[in-house]
């Protein structure tokens, strides 16, 4: 990488550790966002021997979304997941043959028609959560949203129930998955040699977790039978030319990617609704007007415009996948001075981009769904909001997550007021994705 104009960087830079000193692996994103505020729309950091460029300005972002010049980069954080999910959709390299084979097979599972097919199952699962919440006990929100979204992806995509609501805490699949995500994340912040010596215990644990995750997947497939019918994600894959190992990778990718980010999104949204009863009241009035008394129908979901703004606003403030990487397709210059050779890459820090006061106004840090009112959206640069990434390899599950999110919020706020714990202040945890920490709400029937 060649910098014509020197880029801003943090003040203390040490050999070996680079700029990493004093930053816990659990607060990398928070730290990166703070640096963006201090240093501006592009800055550079040294992380061990790796130079990473962080971009958070809408002008530079607009260049980076140009698919003729840039493509997804499978960044080190994603490479770290390859022992678990190999050439699955999320972790595949752009030129891997199975990537294109998987698109052919799986794209139909994410069409509007497919969403229509999943709708009744989503409603059914959400009703099971309502049954639990009707008891009126305080909810451990992240735990409950994790049960909800894992159950939804399990049943819609794979015809498989994790019996989530009959368990005190989410299925052990979730714990094993989170441990292996954390392991992958931490493995990046281990100093090269010392890390290898001190990490053997974690390595062993991780091998056991991967074996367990694979066993769960095999159970999901066995439950179906090799030539099972139906047209869910599993059926499409089992009838396809994708090989067994790749199908395994895809199943873990969809079970993990399909629930974790969405659960966090819903948790942040419920937190904001609990602290903004006016927003909740307005959304509830919309749900009453659009859906009437019965279960929301498929067609209703697209009409819940204000609830949709709540989902978008949550993803703006807390993009649960807070960054993505873009690599140069050919030698090029980014902005007015960063020369990138083919294959060199930069990180788009969505978490900072989406709070840029120059774009979002003086209340950029405030929860206000009217940031997504149509007039406001028209005035804003297009690439200031990218919670699902961009281009060819943007999130395939976007419509799925939005449909599920709007539907779940609608059914919850229609029925309950949300009482926060007195004095709770939002704390954000980073476990590959962002999620609220210590969030408890008491649902009260309206
Ligand atoms: Mn999802 C890619 C965010 C829900 C499955 N997802 C991405 C990317 C982002 C993202 C950002 C792009 C990463 C990159 O460029 O490196 N995803 C989200 C968020 C939510 C979400 C914020 C919920 C909210 N994702 C879902 C759901 C599923 C899913 C639900 C599946 C059911 N996501 C994927 C897959 C990819 C992906 C698979 C990889 C797609 C590809 O590379 O072609």
- Tell me if 254 CB under 6 Å of ligand 1: yes
**Residue 13 scores a pLDDT above 90:** no
Beta strands in 4-49 (DSSP E): 42-47
pLDDT score, position 7? 77
Most confident range, picked from 225-229, 255-259, 420-424: 420-424
What's phi and psi for 3, nearest 5 deg?
-110, 110
Helix (H) or strand (E) holding 434: strand 433-437
Average pLDDT over residues 409-417: 98
- Name the nearest CA neighbour of 73 among 388, 324, 278: 324
- Tell me if 262 CB under 6 Å of ligand 1: yes
pLDDT score, position 317? 98
Q: Ligand 1, residues 395, 396, 406: which to mutate, most atoms within 8 A of Cβ?
A: 395
pLDDT digit string, tens, across residues 94-116: 999 999 999 999 999 999 999 99
pLDDT category of residue 191 using cuts at 50, 70 and 90: low
User: Which pairing describes strands 345-348 and 50-55: parallel, antiparallel, or unpaired?
Assistant: parallel
For CA atoms 400, 404, 410, 413, the dihedral sign is negative
Average pLDDT over residues 402-418: 98
pLDDT score, position 4? 57
Alpha-carbon span 170 to 168, nearest angstrom: 7
Average pLDDT over residues 273-282: 98
Query: Relative to the CA of 73, which ligand 1 atom is closest?
Result: 16
pLDDT score, position 49? 72
From residue 19, give the alpha-carbon distance in Å to each of 42, 52, 272.
16, 10, 34
pLDDT digit string, tens, across residues 324-357: 999 999 999 999 889 999 999 999 999 999 999 9
What percentage of residues in the chain have a pLDDT greater than 70? 91
Alpha-carbon span 430 to 48, nearest angstrom: 20
What value does the mean pLDDT of the chain take?
A: 91
**Residue 6 scores a pLDDT above 80:** no
Q: How is the chain split among helix, strand and coil, in percent rounded to 5?
A: 55, 15, 30
pLDDT score, position 265? 98
What's phi and psi for 8, nearest 5 deg?
-60, 145
CB 104 within 8 A of CB 237: no
Residue 247 token pair: 């199908």
- Tell me if 61 CB under 6 Å of ligand 1: no
Q: Which residues are annotated as a binding site?
A: 395
- Tell me if 41 CB under 6 Å of ligand 1: no
Alpha-carbon span 408 to 310, nearest angstrom: 12
Task: Clarify whether 77 is annotated catalytic.
Answer: no
CB 98 within 8 A of CB 87: yes
Query: Domain limits of the chain?
Result: 2-445
pTM of this prediction? 0.94
Q: Which of 350, 395, 400, 433 is catalytic?
A: 395
**Residue 186 scores a pLDDT above 80:** no
- Pinpoint the alpha helices (H) of 276-356: 277-291, 298-301, 305-317, 350-353
Spatial CB neighbours of 366, under 8 Å, sequence gap ≥ 6: none
DSSP letters of 39-95? H-SEEEEEETTEEEEEE--HHHHHHHT-TTTEEE---HHHHTTHHHHTTSTTT--TT
What is the CA(368)–ligand 1 centre distance, in A?
25
- Tell me if 258 CB under 6 Å of ligand 1: yes
Task: Clarify whether 291 is annotated catalytic.
Answer: no
pLDDT score, position 12? 52
pLDDT category of residue 183 using cuts at 50, 70 and 90: confident
- Name the nearest CA neighbour of 42 among 13, 9, 17: 9
- Tell me if 393 CB under 6 Å of ligand 1: yes
Task: Clarify whether 395 is annotated catalytic.
Answer: yes
Q: Which of 91, 149, 261, 390 is catalytic?
A: 261
Query: Relative to the CA of 265, which ligand 1 atom is closest?
Result: 24
Average pLDDT over residues 168-190: 83
pLDDT category of residue 182 using cuts at 50, 70 and 90: confident
Q: Which of 70, 173, 385, 388 is catalytic?
A: 388
Name the residue at shortest CA distance from atom 2 of ligand 1: 395
pLDDT score, position 16? 45
- The CATH T-level fold of domain 2-445 is Cytochrome p450 (1.10.630)
Alpha-carbon span 199 to 161, nearest angstrom: 35
- Name the nearest CA neighbour of 254 among 117, 85, 399, 375: 85
More confident residue, 264 or 189: 264
What is the CA(210)–ligand 1 centre distance, in A?
21
More confident residue, 371 or 18: 371
Spatial CB neighbours of 69, under 8 Å, sequence gap ≥ 6: 63, 328, 329, 330, 332
Average pLDDT over residues 148-172: 93
- Tell me if 74 CB under 6 Å of ligand 1: no
Query: Relative to the CA of 88, which ligand 1 atom is closest?
Result: 38
pLDDT digit string, tens, across residues 195-227: 566 678 888 999 999 999 999 998 888 888 655
Average pLDDT over residues 47-67: 91
Q: What does the radius of gyration of the chain's CA atoms come to, in whole angstroms?
A: 22
CB 109 within 8 A of CB 153: no
pLDDT score, position 21? 54
Query: Relative to the CA of 401, which ligand 1 atom is closest?
Result: 30
């Amino acid at each position: 990488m060649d910098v014509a104009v020197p880029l801003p960087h943090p003040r203390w830079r040490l050999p070996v550790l680079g700029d990493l000193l004093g930053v816990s692996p659990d607060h990398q994103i928070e730290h990166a966002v703070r640096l963006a505020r201090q240093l501006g729309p592009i800055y550079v950091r040294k992380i061990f021997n790796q130079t990473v460029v962080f971009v958070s300005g809408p002008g530079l972002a607009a260049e980076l979304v140009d698919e003729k010049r840039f493509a997804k980069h499978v960044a080190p954080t994603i490479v770290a997941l390859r022992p678990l999910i190999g050439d699955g959709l999320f972790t595949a390299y752009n030129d891997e043959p199975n990537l294109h084979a998987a698109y052919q097979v799986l794209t139909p599972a994410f069409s509007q028609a497919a969403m229509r097919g999943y709708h009744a199952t989503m409603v059914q699962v959400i009703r099971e959560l309502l049954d639990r919440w009707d008891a009126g006990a305080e909810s451990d929100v992240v735990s409950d949203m994790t049960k909800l979204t894992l159950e939804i992806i399990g049943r819609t995509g794979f015809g498989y129930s994790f019996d989530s609501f009959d368990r005190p805490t989410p299925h052990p699949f979730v714990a094993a998955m989170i441990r292996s995500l954390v392991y992958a994340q931490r493995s990046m912040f281990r100093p090269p040699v010392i890390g290898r010596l001190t990490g053997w215990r974690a390595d062993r644990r991780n091998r056991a977790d991967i074996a367990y995750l694979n066993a769960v997947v095999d159970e999901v497939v066995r439950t179906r039978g090799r030539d099972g019918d139906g047209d869910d994600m599993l059926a499409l894959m089992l009838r396809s030319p994708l090989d067994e190992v790749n199908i395994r990778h895809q199943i873990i990718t969809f079970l993990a990617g399909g629930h974790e980010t969405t659960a966090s999104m819903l948790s942040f949204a419920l937190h904001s609704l609990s602290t903004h009863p006016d927003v909740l009241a307005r959304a509830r009035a919309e749900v009453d007007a659009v859906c009437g008394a019965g279960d929301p129908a498929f067609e209703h979901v697209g009409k819940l415009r204000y609830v949709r703004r709540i989902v978008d606003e949550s993803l703006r403030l807390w993009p649960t996948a807070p960054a993505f990487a873009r690599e140069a397709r050919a030698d090029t210059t980014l902005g007015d001075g960063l020369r990138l050779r083919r294959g060199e890459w930069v990180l788009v820090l969505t978490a900072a981009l989406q709070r840029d006061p120059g774009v979002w106004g003086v209340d950029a840090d405030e929860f206000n769904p009217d940031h997504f009112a149509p007039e406001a959206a028209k005035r804003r640069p297009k690439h200031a909001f990218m919670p699902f990434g961009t281009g060819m390899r943007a999130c395939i599950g976007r419509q799925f997550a939005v449909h599920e999110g709007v539907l779940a919020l609608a059914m919850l706020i229609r029925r309950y007021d949300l009482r926060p714990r007195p004095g709770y202040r939002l704390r954000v945890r980073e476990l590959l994705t962002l999620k609220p920490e210590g969030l408890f709400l008491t649902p009260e029937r309206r």
